[in-house]
Chains A and B, each alone.
Chain A
Amino acid sequence: MSERRLTMAKAMVEAIAQEMRDDERVFVMGEDVGPYGGIFDSTQGLLDEFGTERIRDTPISETSFIGAGVGAAMSGMRPIVELMFVDFFGVCMDAIYNLSAKNTYFSGGNWSVPMVIMTATGGGYSDAGQHSQCLHATFAHLPGMKVVHPSNAYDAKGMMTTAIRDDNPVFYMFHKGLQGLGWMWNVPGATTNVPKEPYTVPFGEVGVRREGSDLTIVTLGLMVHRSLDAAKKLSEEGIEAEVLDLRTLVPLDREGVLRSVEKTGRLLVVDEDYKSYGVTAEIIATVAEAGTTMHAPPKRVAYPDIPIPFSRPLEQFALPDADDIASAAHNLMKGAPSTVTA
């Protein structure tokens, strides 16, 4: 029997539909989640099965509908609220980080906020600086909510199911370039075999996407695939990279990172989010604090600390790619010091 392969978008939709059939408290709201099916297909087809009461199109006011999601969750529902682009968090951040993330703490554990906020991230398709950011660290920095970021369809379904069943707020970030959209580019590795039955993927466990003995590449999301491309090139030159997919930032599998780095003795961290104060720094700090014996100082490849350009050549130049990762890995193997850049 051949596999059943789904794009990441379809895998997310399947998880939402299965949980909605099983639990009438689960519903979806957001901008264009109804007839349009989600601007990045994350709710495609759900309206036909569940109707407008449970698949609710909202006005363009993240402030109100993310806030309404918090209220619904605290009133016994299990809302999935879509923030169309993560870049739009500015107008609704109070509802996210002061309300959803802290109300359980503020109430001494008497109230839970079982809410999923799903949101599209990432650039590479010329949508400019306010539609192309990743902002992983902006959310992972704040206590009180889980932050997850699948890199393929299998994880996308299992992590969505885990997120919906979690009694805590879960910030579910998905990269537009991995959704398998016809009008976007193709990342073959993101479209995977997906079991039909419901299943969960536990939070807080790295995925080892490639085993290797010479260096560890720690990454997430689209950059998992760019790193695997780089690892293939490196292998042709006799360098074997281990590629770890973090999958979740909160909780973070520090042990999983340390296990690999203790084996290889070299660490390269790759992230599409801004370089400074980000995931790359957190991973390097984790390894430094553990006192792991290293063959060379760690390195990172990330998006430089500049806005994301609209101009395609400029954007493509600034985004990390497989060549950037392979080149950093070469420098790491040589023990060359990092170039200090913006």
Chain B
Amino acid sequence: MTDIRIPDDLWDTDETPEGAIGSWLFGDGETVEEGTTVATVMAGKTEYDIPAPASGTLHVDKDADVAVTPGEVIGRVA
């Protein structure tokens, strides 16, 4: 089980306290490959790609539109 974590320094939280999950490109239970973009996160006007940290089955913990901050776990790959 590997956490899908938003990198700690992805954006400046002094300027933009929180972002939001833009979309999941794969659904809960789908097979993903390490390095494939699985989700996007929006902070301010910038969109960031979140890659799968490992290959396996995707588990989504935070749905699209949910507010998130750097360092947060948004899903897992098992």
State the A residues within 8 Å of B (CB). 1-7, 41, 180-183, 186, 188, 191
Interface of B is mostly: strand
Complex Cα gap A187–B21 (Å): 14
**B33 contacts across to A, CB distance below 8 A:** 1-2
**B21 contacts across to A, CB distance below 8 A:** 182
Partner of B32, one of A2, A7, A181, A191: A2
State the B residues within 8 Å of A (CB). 20-23, 25-27, 30-33, 36-37, 40-42, 47, 55, 64-65
Residue ID in chain B nearest A190 by CB atoms: B23
Report whether B47 and A182 are in contact in the complex, using a CB–CB cutoff of 8 Å.
yes
Known contacts A7-B23, A180-B23: A186-B31 contact under CB 8 Å = no
Complex Cα gap A3–B35 (Å): 11
Complex Cα gap A181–B21 (Å): 11
Known contacts A2-B26, A191-B23: A182-B42 contact under CB 8 Å = yes
Complex Cα gap A184–B61 (Å): 20
Complex Cα gap A320–B22 (Å): 24
Told that A6-B25, A181-B47, A191-B23 touch, could you supply 12 new A-B pairs with CB distance under 8 A? A2-B55, A3-B36, A4-B36, A5-B26, A5-B37, A7-B40, A41-B47, A180-B22, A182-B21, A182-B22, A182-B42, A186-B64
Complex Cα gap A180–B20 (Å): 14
Report whether A186 and B23 are in contact in the complex, using a CB–CB cutoff of 8 Å.
yes
Interface of A is mostly: loop
Complex Cα gap A182–B18 (Å): 14
**A5 contacts across to B, CB distance below 8 A:** 25-26, 36-37
**A186 contacts across to B, CB distance below 8 A:** 23, 64-65
Known contacts A2-B31, A188-B27, A191-B25: A182-B20 contact under CB 8 Å = yes
Q: How far is the CB of B45 from chain A (nearest CB, A)?
A: 8
Pick from A2, A7, A186 the residue with the most CB of B within 10 Å.
A2
**A6 contacts across to B, CB distance below 8 A:** 25
Complex Cα gap A191–B26 (Å): 9
Complex Cα gap A181–B46 (Å): 10
Complex Cα gap A188–B6 (Å): 22
Known contacts A1-B33, A2-B32, A2-B33: A182-B40 contact under CB 8 Å = yes
Q: How far is the CB of B76 from chain A (nearest CB, A)?
A: 16
Report whether B42 and A183 are in contact in the complex, using a CB–CB cutoff of 8 Å.
yes
Complex Cα gap A5–B47 (Å): 16
**A7 contacts across to B, CB distance below 8 A:** 23, 25, 40
Complex Cα gap A272–B47 (Å): 28
Residue ID in chain B nearest A183 by CB atoms: B42
Q: How far is the CB of A187 from chain B (nearest CB, A)?
A: 9
**B30 contacts across to A, CB distance below 8 A:** 2
Pick from B25, B26, B36, B40 the residue with the most CB of A within 10 Å.
B25
Complex Cα gap A7–B21 (Å): 14
Residue ID in chain B nearest A181 by CB atoms: B22
**B31 contacts across to A, CB distance below 8 A:** 2
**A181 contacts across to B, CB distance below 8 A:** 22, 47
Report whether B41 and A182 are in contact in the complex, using a CB–CB cutoff of 8 Å.
yes
Complex Cα gap A186–B42 (Å): 13
Q: How far is the CB of B29 from chain A (nearest CB, A)?
A: 13
